Amino acid sequence: MFETSETKLRAVRYVGIISAVGDRMMVAKGGLTGLDNASRSFPIDSWGLDDLIVQRATATLNGRFQVQPVTYNRAAFAAVKDSVMTPVNLVRGDPFAKLLRTEVSPRGLDAYIVITKAKANIGGASGKIEGVGLITYATVVESYSRIFTLYEIRVIDGRTFDVIEKMAAAPLDDTAQVRLPGPSRPTDGSVSINTGDGRDESLRRAVIDLIVRSLPTTLNDMHLAPVR
Amino acid sequence: MSPGTQVFICSARIALRRVVLAASLAAFGAIVRSAAASGQTAFTLPAPPFQLPFLPSPLGNWTLTIGVGGEYGPDFEGANRNELSPVPIFSVHRAGAVEQFRGPRDGASISLIDFGDLQAGLAGKFISPRTASSSSELSGLGDVNAAFEVGGFIQYFPVDWFRLRNETRQGFGGHHGVVSDFSADFIVPVARGFTVSAGPRFTWESSNAVSPYFGIDAAQAAASGLSVFDAKGGPHAAGAGAQVTYRIDPHWEVHSYVEYERLLGDAANSPLVTVRGSANQTTVGVGASYSFDFKIR
């Protein structure tokens, strides 16, 4: 019961990596909004973010673990939602561990690294943002936007389906005036906010940059990367 | 409050805490100076040697906020004299987590139901003891013990810039009544890091909540020279408040607020207020805080 994650990880050799982060891009508003402040989203499957994440994570983990290719129902992992009853989220079993039993092949690896969307409360009526997206804050004198990639990583035991470790990707630095609880960066002039069709190359590049910079750090902080 | 986020804000009026706070500021000063320059986490703590089931993992980046403020407000509820009290500021939360708007009068609270724009959960407040020796106006009225008020809250944001909130709490200790605070706040982000908020307030209290502070029995009347008064519950106070917060840079934030309320009903009619105090109650506060990140891995 009180075994450390480090102890549990010592027995892990074969792992599979699952990523369900990059199916849609969320566009949200905050601050001095109009009455309609609902967020919207558009598909970004064509960006191949989940393949990129698996590829990068594999490169980081190789040397400590033997990463095995796995097939999985990405939509099922992407569709998991938190309960509005906050305590329920604490006491119910991990929903991703349950999905591992039915939606992943092959089974029986020592552990699975599951990378899914993280959520963040942005205050007020705008509620929560999650996964990949762009948020625009409006104030009396200016508007400004940030691109974000909020994700969390679980290490789940492949036999007991217990969550060995879980961690959300952290902000890349603490020097921004406005922050989000995960990798984010301000938009520059090259990013169009209103594209809405997933064909904006500069937006895709900005998201990939956030993933590429944050993923090795997060895996390293979880003690999953080989010690160099 | 989302799972994994732990926020603790406390305030007190004792000098000992001021000393502890000053020592903490000094201790952290050297650490955070280098961190601020580099933009990295100030320090890294090792993960705890075991993990408890059902509790979120502590791994990751956290933000520690420390600061100090001052509050200039009534000596006691109904007083016409004000006093200055130090207010320590201390909070720990997930790095980058956006803190919900918080009014100066809000009690400590934690959400159990969270729809994003609608939240409800537990709320609590500590009411300082009232000692007769602390003020000549209270002479002969005896002491009122400290009270703990425990209950629930519900708040709704129809839009990002407007909040409706109610806290209803049952008292224990100094009083055993029910207190219900209503507030509305317009929250206007003027510029990046600069927010102004303001709105009306209203408080209803039951007889058991009003009586210990504003009722005067025969013995107290004889000792104080005030007339006997049976304080009943009902509308207790109405007023307005305003708050300004300004984030100077990613680390420093300053804030200021003013809260005015006029006592109503038997609180306003009590001889303690009509003879020796005032129904007009104004509180002004200022504060500054410093935030920096640390990591648990």
Query: Cα–Cα distances in Å, from B236 out to B169, B182, B268?
Result: 14, 11, 8
pLDDT at residue A42 is higher than 60: yes
For residue B250, give the nearest of A31, A174, A181 by CB distance.
Answer: A174
B9 falls within a domain: no
What are the φ/ψ torsions at residue B218 (nearest 5 degrees)? -60, -40
Interchain proximity B100–A120, CB inside 8 Å: no
DSSP for B134-187 reads: G-GGGTTS--B--EEEEEEEEEEEEETTEEEEEEEEEEEES--SEEEEEEEEEE
Closest CA to B236 of B201, B276, B271: B201
Task: Flag whether residue A75 sits within 8 Å of chain B, measured between CB atoms.
Answer: no
Which among A123, A128, A144 is the nearest to B192, CB-wise? Answer: A144
Chain A residue with Cα closest to B117: A125
Q: How far is A81 from chain B (nearest CA, A)?
A: 12
pLDDT (0 to 100) of residue B54: 62
State the pLDDT at residue A3. 63
pLDDT for residue B29 is more than 60: no
Mean pLDDT of A119-134: 81
C-beta atoms of A125 and B158 within 8 A? yes
Measured CA to CA, the distance from residue B160 to residue A195 in angstroms comes to: 24
Higher pLDDT, B282 or A39: B282
Task: Report the range of poorest mean pLDDT among A81-85, B69-73, B277-281.
Answer: A81-85
On whether residue B1 sits in a domain, the answer given is: no
pTM of the model as a whole: 0.82
Provide the pLDDT for residue A191. Answer: 59
Of B54, B112, B292, Cβ closest to residue A91: B54
Taking 50 as the threshold, does the pLDDT of residue A90 lie above it? Answer: yes
Domain count, chain B: 1
Task: Evaluate if residue A53 carries a pLDDT over 90.
Answer: yes
* d(C-alpha A24, C-alpha A41), whole Å: 6
Domain presence at residue B48: yes
**Interval B216-258: pLDDT, tens:** 999 999 999 999 999 999 999 999 999 999 999 888 999 999 9
Across the interface, whether the CB atoms of A127 and B189 are under 8 A apart is answered no
- The predicted-structure confidence for A139-168, as pLDDT tens digits, reads as follows 999 888 889 999 999 999 999 998 888 899
Residue B89 lies in a domain: yes
More confident residue, B273 or A35: B273
Which of A 29-48 lie inside 8 A of B, CB atoms? 30-35, 37
pLDDT higher than threshold 90 for residue B260: yes
In the prediction, which pLDDT does A194 show? 57
Q: What is the DSSP letter of B230?
A: -
Q: What is the per-residue pLDDT for A181?
A: 86
Average pLDDT over residues B83-109: 86
Interface contact flag, A32 B189, Cβ < 8 Å = yes
Residue B7 lies in a domain: no
Give domain status of residue B257, yes or no.
yes
Q: What is the mean pLDDT of chain B?
A: 85
Residue A19 has pLDDT above 90, yes or no: yes
Indicate whether B2 belongs to any domain: no
For residue B14, pLDDT over 60 is answered with no
At CA B221, angle to CA B219 and CA B225, rounded to 5? Answer: 135
CA B36, CA B38: separation in Å to the nearest integer?
Answer: 6
Q: How confident is the model at residue B51 (pLDDT cuts 50, 70, 90)?
A: low
Encoded tokens for A207: 């998201």
Q: Is a pLDDT exceeding 60 seen at residue B1?
A: no
Q: Residue B154: pLDDT above 70?
A: yes
From the list A5, A85, A144, which residue is nearest B51 (CB)?
Answer: A5
Kindly tell me if the per-residue pLDDT of A199 is higher than 90: no
Identify the CATH number of the domain in which residue B287 sits: 2.40.230
The answer to whether the CB atoms of B160 and A33 lie below 8 A apart is: yes
Residue A79 has pLDDT above 70, yes or no: yes
Q: At residue B249, what is the residue type?
A: D
CB–CB of B285/B291 below 8 Å?
no
Class of domain A5-221: alpha beta
Percent of chain A at pLDDT exceeding 90: 47
Pairwise CB contact (< 8 Å): B95 & A31: no
Q: Cα–Cα distances in Å, from A5 out to A9, A115, A146, B145?
A: 6, 17, 34, 47
Q: What is the pLDDT of residues B284-294, one digit of tens each?
A: 999 999 988 88
- Smallest CA–CA distance, residue B32 to chain A, in Å, is 12
Whole-angstrom distance, CA of residue A174 vs CA of residue B36: 8
- B201 strand-pairing partners: B183, B239
* A189 vs B219: which has the higher pLDDT: B219
* Domain that includes residue B212, residue range: 15-296
Q: Which of A4, A119, A138 sits opposite B50 (nearest CB)?
A: A4
Tokens of B148: 């703990």
Asked if A128 lies within 8 A of B116 by C-beta distance, the reply is yes
Q: Is the peptide bond before B271 cis (omega within 30 degrees of 0)?
A: no
B208 falls within a domain: yes
The predicted pLDDT at position A228 comes to 63
Which two tokens mark A60?
């980081």
What's the whole-number mean pLDDT along residues A195-210? 81
Mean pLDDT score, B71-91: 94
Express each pLDDT in B175-216 by its tens digit: 999 999 999 999 999 998 899 999 999 999 999 999 999 999
**Closest chain A C-alpha to B291 CA, distance in angstroms:** 10
User: Which site among B114, B155, B195 would you substitute to test the A interface, given the most A Cβ atoms closer than 10 Å to its Cβ?
Assistant: B114
What is the model's pLDDT at position B31? Answer: 44
Q: Answer whether A174 sits within 8 Å of B188, measured CB to CB.
A: no
pLDDT of A106 over the 70 cut: yes
